[in-house]
Structure 1
Amino acid sequence: MTVLREIPLDFEGVLAAESGSEVRRSVLPGGVRVLTESMPDQRSVTIGYWVAVGSRDESPEGYGATHFLEHLLFKGTPTRSAMDIAVAFDRVGGESNAGTAKESTVYHARVLDEDLPMAVDVLTDMVTSSLIDPDELETERGVILEELAMDADDPVDVAHEELAGVVLDGHPLGRPIGGTPETIRAVTREHVMDHYRRWYRPDELVITAAGHLDHDDVCRLVLSALQQSGWDLRRGAVPAPRRTVDTAAAAAARVRPGVHTVEKAVEQANVIVGGRSLSTTDPDRFALGVMMSVLGGGMSSRLFQEVREKRGLAYSTYAFSAGYSDAGYYGLYAGCQPERVDEVAALMTAEFERMAVEEVTGEELERAHGQICGGTVLGMESTGARMSRLGRAELVTGEFVDLSASLARVRAVDAAQVRAVAARLAEGERARVVVAPA
């Protein structure tokens, strides 16, 4: 299969082709990008409308606007009510949803191949022509506040959110994706509309689809729907540049070391030890993935064996990392009895530091390779996963790497690289977050 290491903004053509499957990219008038992957053996298609705007891109007076828009785009256009949008997918057994992240937003649907024209028509209408109705906005304000309250009732979510704020203090990435109750109550329709007009435009729009489809048909459907929307589709317009590293924001970010405790009425303490990690394009990111697998990626991992199997100190324990364009962070998590927090945190830290000075064994390395590669292959059997892969390739990395090459990158990671990336992370400051009863 052909591997295109970089995707120029003006590239049009085949990115990869193998076994009847083809990945293609086109640039439509207005600078709209369309990427598809044909999967001839499927009966469904998953399509996503992406905009490279996330919670990190909000103005101070508009914190929470990105997530607000995710809700409001389902609430009606000049030609469709919220019920019309819901019924359109329900009547064909389809699924529609959306997701807000720290650096992107996506609206997506999965339908039978024969219902793709409907999905394109409805999603295009939502993205280009949302009313942002004042009454619906106030209704959704209440819905979002309930969503935040639900998240606040989950101590694991609270611990993860607190960790991001502690290790990315002073960076927009450290803010909660959904905003806070205070910012959601404060944001106005004008703030939301300004955000909508700023980001939802042709040169920022990326459409990805995977499943039983024809690329040219998808482009025709999309272009027809966009033309009906009234958007400015100038021929020759180029896509907006991809996100660049914000060196000022990265320099301003800091880790607040020490123990940060959030008191909640819970039976179990939730503890995370974490610090700064790698960006999404860092060359060491594949070694980081292998490291996290060995350290806390499954039942055979070091954390699981040491904390749970040998000592019975936790039911759930794992390691994780999150990467963004100019920053990242990692965490070592466990849920344990409140009186065992210090012991568990010390155990997790010891295992982490051991990886920085001792190379992992050949058996551990082989298991990690197998776990990551097997999970990747199984995940790619989904049209949704393939659609999302295209979105990440276009918006995040700017390169498309086929499955075989992705697996090769993982298998190329050796024990020395794992130790080196562990040592790199271990040099940084760390913090501990604990969500526990008073």
Structure 2
Amino acid sequence: MTIVAAPGTHVWTLEGGLTAAFEQRKGPGFALDLRVPVGGAHDPLGQEGSAGVLEEWLYKGAGGRDARAYQDALDDLGVRRGGGVGPEATRFGVSGLTADLPAALGLVADLLLRPALPPEELPVLADLARQDLEGLEDSPPDLLATEARRLAFPRDPASPFAGYAHPASGTPEGLSNLSVDGLRAFLARYGTRGSVVGLVADADPAEVRALLERAFAGWRPGEAVTVPADFRPGLRVHVPHAEAEQTHLSVTAPGAPPRSADWLAWQVALTALAGGSASRLFHAVREERGLAYSVSASPVLLGGRGFLAAYAGSTPERAPETLAVLLAELARLPQGLTEAEFERARRGLTASVVFGAESPRARASGLTRDLAVFGRVRSVADLRAQIAALTLERVNAFLAGYDPAAQATVVTLGPGEVPA
């Protein structure tokens, strides 16, 4: 069955079960994004790093080519490669000239259906992952993000999955337990179930569908399992880091689920909170008090739920005040926005929607994200109309029942003791 999601956009369930979203757009190039619902959270317990190492291993040869020949094939087409491993999914992206779409699509399919997986490469890739982990010590914000997930989203003891408490590179213990057979078994999770391919190109829809059908014919079903994100509210931990020059602050709190009626109202509220130089956090933390050069808050989606993640970096002496001000701004949200804040945030959100869809690569990844997260393709026109239909009363009615500060979990990292 073909579903026309919006003018120029088509959503298909292909014969093997893969979901495809295609948007016809004038221009010389194409952009493709394939999202497989297997990420770092799906790493087997004790084999943390499986998803990250496997993604790199796939590029070490496919379709009868070794690693060098495969990269040469991409370069010969002038194709740009993208993607990567996240907590919940692995993405494979390519973009290039539309005339090269069939060949580029074949190269992507080779990775997943006909990978070489040379055993001699696995120890090298595991060593590279260990180097990434060692690099975390030199990046306090990244180390803080890992510690924040570890505290806020603990692993379910009954689950076979490692969960969200480790980076994509894994853990030293997990990397030492990786094996050729184990990663080949992990690859069996990849398949058509839950996978989505998004494509933007100036091409005939029927021809595009036929290309996709041929390219992914025979891909196994695989698995699509959601790893629950069970949030622990109200906790506070300080992680000592004697070599850090700053104290880094992380605040995690519940938000709105992506498929709820409150999603856009929450997005407007977050834009007012941290959406640029006119936002509340920028003024309260940086402009009025000079507490931190960098302060931010953004939505995070895990396990089908939305969460607010805020960050600031301050001097150790001023970290307690920075944290207090940040939490105070979160506690002020239930009082609602002013008319000026609402209009400014709504315009900012509209602009991000419009400009975020300008790039074919961004739009292709937006298609896969929409289907995976929202269960449908959201056209730019529809999104603009929904944002325009929001009222201050609607947003403030949501905020009246939204108190992130009351449930916030705080992790700080830096020298000294826990900021008071």
Fold similarity call, TM over 0.5: yes
| Equivalent residue number for residue 138 of structure 1 | 123
Secondary structure of 1:106 counterpart: strand
- Amino acid in the other structure paired with 2:345: A
| Equivalent residue number for residue 406 of structure 1 | 383
CA positional deviation for 1:56: 2.3
Distance of 2:169 and 2:349 partners within structure 1: 30
Matched length? 409
CA positional deviation for 1:313: 1.4
CA positional deviation for 1:28: 2.7
| Equivalent residue number for residue 220 of structure 1 | 210
Structure 1 residue runs without a partner (length 5+): 1-10, 233-238
Q: 1:293 aligns with which of 271, 294, 309?
A: 271
CA 1:68–1:417 in structure 2 vs 1: closer, same or farther (change >3 Å)? Answer: farther
CA 1:382–1:138 in structure 2 vs 1: closer, same or farther (change >3 Å)? Answer: same
**Contact kept in structure 2, 1:117 and 1:221, CA below 8 Å:** yes
Q: 1:282 aligns with which of 240, 246, 260?
A: 260
The one-character-per-residue Cα deviations of 1:96-143 (angstroms, maximum 9, x if unpaired) are 122112222111101111111221111110111112221111111112
Alpha-carbon RMSD: 2.4
The answer to whether structure 1 residue 182 and structure 2 residue 159 are counterparts is no
TM-score by length of 2: 0.90
Secondary structure of 2:336 counterpart: coil
- Amino acid in the other structure paired with 1:47: L
Distance of 1:84 and 1:183 partners within structure 2: 31
The answer to whether structure 1 residue 54 and structure 2 residue 45 are counterparts is no
CA positional deviation for 1:351: 1.2
The answer to whether structure 1 residue 129 and structure 2 residue 114 are counterparts is yes
| Equivalent residue number for residue 351 of structure 1 | 329
- Amino acid in the other structure paired with 2:17: G
**Contact kept in structure 2, 1:166 and 1:256, CA below 8 Å:** no
| Equivalent residue number for residue 157 of structure 1 | 142
**Contact kept in structure 2, 1:242 and 1:395, CA below 8 Å:** no
| Equivalent residue number for residue 160 of structure 2 | none
Structure 2 residue runs without a partner (length 5+): 157-162
**Contact kept in structure 1, 2:247 and 2:412, CA below 8 Å:** yes
**Contact kept in structure 2, 1:291 and 1:422, CA below 8 Å:** no
- Amino acid in the other structure paired with 1:196: L
Output aligned runs, 1:168-317, within 5 Å: 168-170=153-155, 172-197=163-188, 199-227=189-217, 231=219, 249=228, 253-255=231-233, 257-317=235-295
CA positional deviation for 1:382: 0.6
Secondary structure of 1:61 counterpart: coil
- Amino acid in the other structure paired with 1:50: R
| Equivalent residue number for residue 70 of structure 2 | 85
Q: Which moved more, 1:205-214 or 1:340-349?
A: 205-214
**Contact kept in structure 1, 2:63 and 2:107, CA below 8 Å:** no
The one-character-per-residue Cα deviations of 1:32-83 (angstroms, maximum 9, x if unpaired) are 222211111x211011222122222232133221222211111112511111
| Equivalent residue number for residue 335 of structure 1 | 313
CA positional deviation for 1:174: 4.1
**Contact kept in structure 2, 1:55 and 1:176, CA below 8 Å:** yes
Secondary structure of 1:424 counterpart: coil
CA positional deviation for 1:256: 5.9
CA positional deviation for 1:429: 2.4
**Contact kept in structure 1, 2:327 and 2:405, CA below 8 Å:** no
Q: 1:376 aligns with which of 353, 370, 376?
A: 353
**Contact kept in structure 2, 1:124 and 1:222, CA below 8 Å:** no
The one-character-per-residue Cα deviations of 1:169-210 (angstroms, maximum 9, x if unpaired) are 23523443332232122222222111111x223445432211
Secondary structure of 1:328 counterpart: strand
Secondary structure of 1:433 counterpart: strand
Distance of 2:350 and 2:103 partners within structure 1: 36
CA 1:77–1:261 in structure 2 vs 1: closer, same or farther (change >3 Å)? Answer: same
| Equivalent residue number for residue 37 of structure 1 | 23
Distance of 1:437 and 1:193 partners within structure 2: 43
CA 1:275–1:262 in structure 2 vs 1: closer, same or farther (change >3 Å)? Answer: farther
Q: Which structure dedicates a bigger proportion of its chain to helix?
A: 1
Give me the identity figure in percent.
Answer: 28
Distance of 1:26 and 1:319 partners within structure 2: 35
CA positional deviation for 1:217: 2.2
Secondary structure of 1:62 counterpart: coil
Q: 1:392 aligns with which of 346, 366, 369?
A: 369
CA positional deviation for 1:163: 1.7
CA positional deviation for 1:150: 2.8
CA 1:278–1:185 in structure 2 vs 1: closer, same or farther (change >3 Å)? Answer: farther
CA 1:173–1:283 in structure 2 vs 1: closer, same or farther (change >3 Å)? Answer: farther
The answer to whether structure 1 residue 365 and structure 2 residue 355 are counterparts is no
Distance of 2:282 and 2:291 partners within structure 1: 10
**Contact kept in structure 1, 2:304 and 2:373, CA below 8 Å:** no
Distance of 2:224 and 2:373 partners within structure 1: 8
Distance of 1:168 and 1:81 partners within structure 2: 39
**Contact kept in structure 1, 2:80 and 2:96, CA below 8 Å:** yes
**Contact kept in structure 2, 1:355 and 1:423, CA below 8 Å:** no
CA 1:388–1:318 in structure 2 vs 1: closer, same or farther (change >3 Å)? Answer: same
The one-character-per-residue Cα deviations of 1:273-331 (angstroms, maximum 9, x if unpaired) are 22233333232221211111111111111111111111111111111220234333223
- Amino acid in the other structure paired with 2:99: E
| Equivalent residue number for residue 8 of structure 1 | none
- Amino acid in the other structure paired with 1:385: A
Distance of 2:234 and 2:327 partners within structure 1: 17
